[in-house]
Amino acid sequence: MTSSSTGADVVDHLVGLAPGMPLHAVRHQRDKVVHATQGSVDALLSPDVEGLSVQERLLVGWYAARLTPCPTLEPHYRAQLDDSWSTQVLDAITRDQLSEVQDARLRAVLQFVRALITKPITGDQALLHTLPAAGLSTPAVVALAQWIAFLSYQARLVSGLQALKRWRAQ
């Protein structure tokens, strides 16, 4: 669900914010940040991004949300996966058993995601070099790194807004 396909802001939708709600008003005080956040979703999930398919990026989003964990983002990305993914791949990701992913390129991508989400300090030059070695182009590596960084931001934003929403409801 991106704004280009629905006209909606993904974060507002996921958190359940609507015009007239106090938290919606607070979030939209800096509308340029709201638009930049949604613009990032649209750009990072654009079919024009070279080297990683939209489905690969959605799979990365689902895996990153599982690892974070972000229970709101996890089903959001999972629901967008199509039937191009085998049960074996989905099951390996669900159980976090990346060694069972047969495709070496995909396994390298997922290992990179795991490292950056669970222990970012391990994201060194050696880890970065595993991606071109697995067949990713430089634009794909850059896109992947940008997507993972954005996913981390998105998870913190959604979780923070949900916490504020719960707090205001008390």
Residue 7: predicted pLDDT: 55
Residue 20 domain boundaries: 3-169
| pLDDT tens track for 124-149 | 999 999 999 999 999 999 999 999 99
Average pLDDT, the chain: 94
**Residue type present at position 165:** K
Total of domains in the chain: 1
44 near 51, Cβ under 8 Å?
no
Instruction: Give the tokens for residue 90.
Output: 């989905």
Report the C-alpha gap between 142 and 167 in whole angstroms. Answer: 38
Report the C-alpha gap between 18 and 110 in whole angstroms. Answer: 35
Q: How far apart are the first and last CA of the chain?
A: 30
Percent of the chain with pLDDT over 70: 95
For residue 163, what pLDDT band results from cuts at 50, 70 and 90?
Answer: very high
Report the C-alpha gap between 57 and 63 in whole angstroms. Answer: 10
| pLDDT tens track for 90-118 | 999 999 999 999 999 999 999 999 999 99
Residues 66-92 have a mean pLDDT of 98
Residue 170: predicted pLDDT: 65
- H helical segments located in the chain: 3-6, 10-15, 22-27, 31-44, 54-67, 73-78, 87-94, 104-118, 125-133, 138-169
Report the C-alpha gap between 44 and 47 in whole angstroms. Answer: 9
- Displacement of CA 109 from its chain's centroid (Å): 13
Selection from 127, 89, 84, 80 nearest residue 107 by Cα: 89
Residue 169: predicted pLDDT: 75
1 near 8, Cβ under 8 Å?
yes
Task: Kindly provide the b/e burial profile for residues 18-48, where b requires at least 16 CB atoms within 10 angstroms of the residue's own CB.
Answer: eeeeebbeebeeeeeebeebbebbebbbeee
Residue 17: predicted pLDDT: 95
Residue 2: predicted pLDDT: 42
In the chain, what is the greatest distance between 2 CA atoms, to the nearest angstrom? 52
Q: Is the pLDDT of residue 5 over 90?
A: no
Q: What is the CATH number of the domain that holds 75?
A: 1.20.1290.10
Residue 1: predicted pLDDT: 43
Q: Is the pLDDT of residue 82 over 90?
A: yes
